[in-house]
Structure 1
Amino acid sequence: MMKARTLPSYLVQRFHGWRATSYQNNRAWYRRLAESGQHPRAMVISCCDSRVHVTAIFGADEGEFFIHRNIAGLVPPFTSDGKTHGTSAAVEYAVTALGVAHVIVVGHSNCGGVKGCHDMCTGHAPQLEEKTSFVGRWMDILRPGYERVAHLPEGEILPALEKQAVLTSLENLMTFPFVKEAVENDMLTLHGLWNNTGEGELEQYDPERDSFVII
């Protein structure tokens, strides 16, 4: 038998509170979404980190964003090896089936996944070097980004690497044929953001300046 249990009582209480307020006040909208399907304008790729709340940042309602979250908000490069790739599948569905107009990659401050990559690349996280480490093999995606910032003073590497995670994902997105085609045909735009969670700030990548600037 599966070792699953019922929800903790505090979550059950929160659900009933939501159903009695938000759902009841917007019942027609929820039913319309359920019947007509989703038509999000943008896909957001962000970190699993519980402090990153993209719907709250943008004041988004249900149905606005197609959201995919993973460790450090990374996008792997395109491959046709036939293996299971959850992030790649999400990107494919968003672009080819939902026809989103924007793909937004969101990085953030104090990212544990990025720190893990830093520690692994500097030889301070041997557990992540193990072939059996899912986190380590996932953070291999960011190794090229680390090489680009490894020359910086020690105190500057981690913040720079957090932004390299965003840039690496944007670069990898363009290796997907259907993404590249949509971008070149002006059917899709890519955006890179970095969220300073402690200060409530948001920076966006400006390709003309080749840097992140505060919005």
Structure 2
Amino acid sequence: MQSFPSSLLNGYRNFMSGRYVDERERYRSLAEEGQSPTTLVIACSDSRSAPETIFDAGPGELFVIRNVANMVPPHEPDGQFHATSAALEFGVKVLKVRDIVVMGHGRCGGIRAALDTTSAPLSDGDFIGKWMGLLKPATEQIQNNDVMTPAERQTALERISIRNSLNNLRSFPDIQMLEESGNLALHGAWFDISTGELWVMDAKTGDFTRPEV
């Protein structure tokens, strides 16, 4: 029987002697009263782009959904298993979040795989290939753009993916209704791993700009 990863145990010891000591009362309160985050973040599973770290969030402050390439599928109540949609439903209906942020990032492996059809696994039968198929129309347009460099194509699709996910969010009836009534706001953001820069999407134009911080 293999032992539990020592790096995780060491990290846990540091957590218990450090952050947990500082925030013990908050954890106890969260345990007794439950969570009530006002912001839901849909982020990539990439280990380099954790929203809690990027936004310096404490326990109970963010409800986070992470998957490959931070994507939201369209609303499909077909009786199948939909993890992202289920988490969205919980955040919107149960936690009643006020903001949803779709946050992409630079050098995303899922986006790179979508653009490079020679990468494995990317057949239609593989999980990654089928998942990234959500971006197929945009991917095909960018792949055929010879004016752009590979890095430019990658960044472009990373940001297009964010806009695509925001559009898919609006296919969920409850989300559309709450946004139209002013009780829910949808946002897009893109994080550059190499520089630490955060780019925020303009809701009207779709352009990404750096906010003043």
Aligned to 1:129: 123
Q: TM-score, normalised by structure 1?
A: 0.91
Q: Distance in 1 between matches of 2:5 and 2:143?
A: 44
The code of the aligned residue for 1:128 comes to: L
Please tell me whether the aligned partners of residues 47 and 73 of structure 1 are also in contact (alpha carbons under 8 angstroms): yes
Aligned to 1:161: 157
Identity of aligned residues (%): 38
Q: Which of 48, 52, 56 is the equivalent residue of 1:55?
A: 52
The code of the aligned residue for 1:181 comes to: M
Q: Which of 106, 109, 115 is the equivalent residue of 1:109?
A: 106
Task: Give structure 1 regions of 4+ aligned residues with deviation exceeding 6 angstroms.
Answer: none
Q: Distance in 1 between matches of 2:29 and 2:84?
A: 28
Q: Distance in 1 between matches of 2:66 and 2:121?
A: 23
Please tell me whether the aligned partners of residues 146 and 164 of structure 1 are also in contact (alpha carbons under 8 angstroms): no
Aligned to 2:183: 187
1:146 aligns with 2:139: yes
Change (3 A) 1:129 1:10: closer
SS in 1 for 2:186: strand
Give unpaired runs (5+ residues) of structure 1.
none
Please tell me whether the aligned partners of residues 42 and 101 of structure 1 are also in contact (alpha carbons under 8 angstroms): yes
Q: Distance in 2 between matches of 1:83 and 1:62?
A: 32
Q: TM-score, normalised by structure 2?
A: 0.92
Q: CA RMSD in A?
A: 1.6
SS in 2 for 1:203: strand
- 1:62-101 mapped onto 2 (5 Å cutoff): 62-101=59-98
Give unpaired runs (5+ residues) of structure 2.
none
Aligned to 2:21: 24
